Amino acid sequence: MLTRERKIILLHMMAEGPVSQEYVDFGGICFNITEHKIGWDFVTAEALIKKYDGYADGIAVSGVQKRLAAGNTSFMHPGYLFLLRAAVRTPFYMADDVRDFFSDWTLHRILKEQPKMFQGRNVLFHSAAVSPCLEKITNAGARVASADMLLLSGLPVLLKGTKQIETYVKLLRLTAYALKLGAIGPDTYIFKTRVKERFAKWVRASDVFVTFGNLLDLMDDLSILKEKIVIADYLSAETRRRIAAVKTTQIIEFIPDNTAIGSLQSRHFSLLTTMLDQKRISEDSPLSFDEYVLKWVQEQNVYPNRLRSSAGIARRCAFVIHPLVQSQLWKSRGMSAFEKAPAAVKDWVESKAGLLPVFRYGTLKGAISQKTGQEVICDIYAYCATPKQLLSLDEDLIYNRIVQAAEQAMRRGAGILGLGAYTKVVGDAGVTIAKRSPIPVTNGNSYSASTTLWAARVMVEKLGLVKPVVNSQNRMRAKAMVIGATGSIGRVSSLLVSLVVDELVLVATRPDKLLELRQEVLELSPNITVRVTTNPNPELRDTDLVVTATSNQGGEILDIEQVKPGAVICDCSRPLDIGRDAAAKRPDVLVIESGEVLLPGNVELDCDIGLPKPAVYACLAETVLLAMEGRLESFSLSKQLSMEKVKEIYKIGIKHGATLSAIQGPNGVIADEDIVACRKLALKRLKNWKSSKGAS
């Protein structure tokens, strides 16, 4: 229920036009907002402030900043001081404080996810002297420059670096109060042809453009922003449409994504500041304004915006693969000559292949979101080391090779690098690589875990030998086992499986880690039975689902003859834990090779990654989906996966249209008739099957 109406006057000093009015419900208060677009006219602004002083509840001014600052130099804007004196009875509001708060918070969040986002990039500020983020972007490693002198004096001088920008601010401090107020404004030179041409040249030479919504609205040609990262305090609906049309790469907008704010015609920070303070006053709150803003942020679950992308331009990502077995090594560039060589020569070549640099192996094209239409292109890089070599080579050598791939990928425009197979197992599972890489890195384990359990549940349901728990939509009356449970994928698989079965066995080599994991599982699923063991075989005869997630390099991880008829074995290890020969011994057991993915769109892959095209590994799919979502961040890192991220990447996949591919077994795609045949054999053998150890 609306408590009362508040009259707000908005003076827009960077646009000219008729008076407009809107009503908006903000926190139970009806705000009657009258907007005057008066241009850079301080005489009219003063007259309007005096007219509404004592009549309106609040007066907001957009287009004028409180202060100008760079480095250690700052001073109050003379225009702000002039207008402030005109308001005697009605509170007078500017954008600076709340805008600066959200600027800091937004950039902090983005740089936490992408600490190297600005490193080494050319960042052009439309007006650095009044920008809230000059220091933060400079400290993030950017090469900063500013068009202040061109904007305010028409002089074709590009200020380079913070020292020149600070010198300029010092000069302004000496002259600003001597100039006639309003004599020189931001719109004085912006429309002049020579100024526009020079400015366009500077923008095209930059990687990132930092501006204000008010200034963007004045630019008649936004095509110069193509393939740029654009940072602004806010975007009007019209400017947002124009930016999308020219295909900017990324957009960072400081105004928070809040329903009430989004409904405003004028999304100025000065207006948000006014409404927040008037809400505080109407509630007779004892809190200071800053504390009240924090209270509002928490109560309304307001978060800073993430990086957003302009639709229409294909985003690039990259992915690193390597041969899983020696025979795949001969498919690598320049290696086919060794395919028929003696075994000793092959072994020698394999031992040295890890010393070779990575190379671009192929490209995935045509991945297009069903939801947004965003296209993603993924460059595939190959590292010639087999798992045997990756586990024996010096970790720093491997890190350097993969970082070389990241550097190559960045030069081709990739925004994120994914790690495949054992490149995500070596060392700390991507943490060190991400620190050294110029672009974000993800090891793909979140989506691997998600799709593994997705595929396993599909197959268990298709076999139809396990019944659901009465009065439960998700849980099955089944016993599951995870082998390699304390590993990265194994741990999350254990947590996810615990949500759908009533009995779980955790298997790994370290009893201490197993006991820790058991406690974690019970905290999540306290009503199930959880046991731990280092030997899976005694538990296999009555286990319905087995998930293997090991880094096994040889030897059997389980006795296939002890597996319960009709069980599903989901093998998500690479190389595989359950080979073709072992699976062939038990046609009454369904062995699947985890969940591969079909990306949305007409996907084309011009290289062999070891799967029937167009299916891709889940870790590759995670990389593409993050690029599709605009989440260019180190999403999955380390050997400790987050349940929240596993769920989040699953939702991102569903949003954009990713699906499970035809599920693979040791002999290829598992068809419906294969499932029917397995079920018949399982039912027949179950008649004489005993669950006690050693029974047959």
Residue 395 sits in the same domain as residue 465: no
Assign 277 to helix, strand or coil: helix
| CATH number of the domain encompassing residue 580 | 3.40.50.720
Which two structure tokens, joined as six digits, stand for 440? 């974000």
Within a domain: 360: yes
Within a domain: 227: no
- Report the run of H or E that residue 260 belongs to, with start and end: helix 259-262
Q: Are 324 and 386 in contact (CB under 8 A)?
A: yes
DSSP string for residues in 83-109: HHHH-SSS-EE-SHHHHHHHHHHHHHH
How many CA atoms, within 13 angstroms, populate the side-chain half-sphere of residue 600? 19
Q: b vs e for 386-402, b when ≥16 Cβ sit within 10 Å of the residue's Cβ?
A: bbbbbeebeeeebbebb
Residue 455 sits in the same domain as residue 589: yes
Q: Are strands 359-368 and 601-605 parallel, antiparallel or unpaired?
A: antiparallel
**CA-to-CA distance for 445 and 548, rounded, in angstroms?**
14
Q: b vs e for 181-204, b when ≥16 Cβ sit within 10 Å of the residue's Cβ?
A: ebebbbbbbbeeeebbebbeebbe
Residue 671 sits in the same domain as residue 523: yes
DSSP string for residues in 344-392: HHHHHHHHHHTTSPPEEEEEEEEEE-TTT--EEEEEEEE----HHHHTT
Within a domain: 615: yes
* pLDDT at residue 3, as a whole number: 56
Assign 278 to helix, strand or coil: helix
Q: What is residue 560's DSSP assignment?
A: G
| Residue 34 CB neighbour total at 10 angstroms | 16
pLDDT in tens, 35-89: 999 998 999 999 999 999 999 999 999 999 899 999 999 999 998 999 999 999 9
DSSP-H helix ranges across 91-236: 96-113, 134-139, 148-153, 161-175, 193-204, 213-218
Q: Give the domain range for residue 325.
A: 315-447+602-648
Assign 319 to helix, strand or coil: strand
Please tell me the total count of domains within the chain. 2
Q: Which residues of the chain have pLDDT under 50?
A: 1-2, 693-696
CB < 8 Å & 24+ apart, contacts of 583-587 = 583/665, 583/666, 583/667, 584/666, 585/560, 585/561, 586/560, 586/561, 587/677, 587/678, 587/681
Smallest Cα–Cα separation from 525: which of 466, 451, 475, 461? 475
**Does a cis peptide bond (omega within 30 degrees of 0) precede residue 526?**
no
* pLDDT at residue 74, as a whole number: 92
Residue 462 sits in the same domain as residue 520: yes
Sign, CA dihedral 374-379-385-390, equals negative
Residue 419 sits in the same domain as residue 363: yes
Residue 435 sits in the same domain as residue 383: yes
Within a domain: 237: no
Q: What are phi and psi of 172, to 5 degrees?
A: -60, -40
* pLDDT at residue 310, as a whole number: 55
Within a domain: 483: yes
Strand order in 29-37's β-sheet? 20-26, 29-37, 5-12, 58-62, 92-93
* pLDDT at residue 307, as a whole number: 62
**CA-to-CA distance for 321 and 130, rounded, in angstroms?**
46
Residue 344 sits in the same domain as residue 435: yes
Q: Are 325 and 369 in contact (CB under 8 A)?
A: no
Residue 589 sits in the same domain as residue 641: no
Residue 531 sits in the same domain as residue 463: yes
Residue 585 sits in the same domain as residue 610: no
**CA-to-CA distance for 519 and 114, rounded, in angstroms?**
33
Residue 330 sits in the same domain as residue 414: yes
Residues in a beta bridge with 231:
210, 252
| All residues at 6 or more sequence positions from 393 whose CB lies less than 8 Å from its CB, including other chains | 354, 385
Within a domain: 472: yes
| Residue 693 CB neighbour total at 10 angstroms | 11
| All residues at 6 or more sequence positions from 385 whose CB lies less than 8 Å from its CB, including other chains | 322, 323, 353, 354, 393, 398, 422
* pLDDT at residue 696, as a whole number: 37
**CA-to-CA distance for 452 and 489, rounded, in angstroms?**
9
**CA-to-CA distance for 613 and 603, rounded, in angstroms?**
9
In this structure, which amino acid lies at residue 189? Y
Smallest Cα–Cα separation from 478: which of 454, 457, 493, 449? 457
* pLDDT at residue 1, as a whole number: 39
Within a domain: 189: no
Residue 436 sits in the same domain as residue 401: yes
Within a domain: 120: no
